[in-house]
Structure 1
Amino acid sequence: MIRDRAQRIHDVQERLGREMDLWVASAGGDGVPYLVPLSFFWDGQDVWLVTRLSNPTGRNLAATPHTRLALGDTRDVVLLDGEVTAYTHDEVPDAAADGFRVKTGWDAREAGPAYRWFRVRPVEVQAWHEEPELAGRRVMAGGEWADG
């Protein structure tokens, strides 16, 4: 059964609240792509990530204002393109850090200044179950959820 747009939006938001990890795609100035799994927290508007600034993904997210995040496998896909803002452990909003701690069991603020927090604000989201749902897969554009 092909889901309508409203059901896809509901499913995406539910998965963002439930799932623990997602794939983070980034690239450095040299164009070398990186794809890594990271734990995340969805606050209902933004995705929050935390990783070391010394690794390629941390450096890329700090230097580039865009990333692509992915949930799911090849039969139940969510692709989220977003704008990235970096925060030190002293700057991250308490609600985001506390939400991340509750969800993952790890208080990354205690890991020290080598880590950076990244807020990813969704700009475009696509969701589909296999080929029959490719039509209508864009459920967010311009940072706004699409109408049903």
Structure 2
Amino acid sequence: MTTREHRPPRTGEQRRTDVLTRLEEDVDAWVATASPGGEQYMVPLSFVFHDGRLIMCTRHISGTARNIRAGSRSTIALGHTRDVVLIEAEAEQLAPDGLTPQAGAAFAAKVRWDPRGDEEYVFLRFLPRMLRAWREENELKGSVLMRDGVWRV
């Protein structure tokens, strides 16, 4: 019987296809930020991948929103431990009405929640700068699929 560890590694092109599928189909991701003093903060947030960016929403008083306002770097994790996608991203906070109508509609349709117009919430927009994806040890080599915001495959 073949185990996951014995599957041959995917090509870079296949990994990119798999990552794009995950970005389209997954609804939730883990988002890690840090305070200016270095206190780490990680929460699950729902997202939509729209125009090459991940869009999420949270209360404006949340640790994630505060950290992003302070310029925190962000790491986003998708998948589970045997199908990992790690994204280092530049993040910005937008007012509840700061999204384009198309992005707002895409978010509301995917996550089945529309916080636009609710002053308690802010949108977060993440631009991927580095993206890595792997399933097992044999895929660690070549796991960097994007660097400086440019796909390498």
> What TM-score results when the alignment is normalised by the length of structure 2?
0.91
Output the amino acid matched with 1:48.
Answer: I
Where do residues 94-113 of structure 1 align in structure 2 (5 Å cutoff)? 94-110=101-117, 112-113=118-119
| Number of the residue aligned with 1:69 | 76
- Cα distance in 2 for partners of 1:60, 1:90 equals 20
| Number of the residue aligned with 2:4 | none
Output the amino acid matched with 1:11.
Answer: D
**Contact 2:65–2:93 (CA under 8 A) maintained in structure 1:** no
**Contact 2:34–2:72 (CA under 8 A) maintained in structure 1:** no
Per-residue CA shift, 1:72-93, capped at 9, x if unaligned?
A: 1111100001111211012221
* SS at 2:17 equivalent: helix
Structure 1 gap ranges (5+): none
Matched residues, percent identical?
A: 38
Pair 1:145 & 2:151 matched? yes
**What is the number of equivalent residue pairs in this alignment?**
146
1:27 to 19, 28, 34: 34
Point out 4+ residue stretches in structure 1 off by more than 4 angstroms: none
Structure 2 gap ranges (5+): 1-7
Pair 1:7 & 2:22 matched? no
> What TM-score results when the alignment is normalised by the length of structure 1?
0.94
**Contact 1:88–1:116 (CA under 8 A) maintained in structure 2:** yes
* SS at 2:68 equivalent: helix
Output the amino acid matched with 2:27.
Answer: M
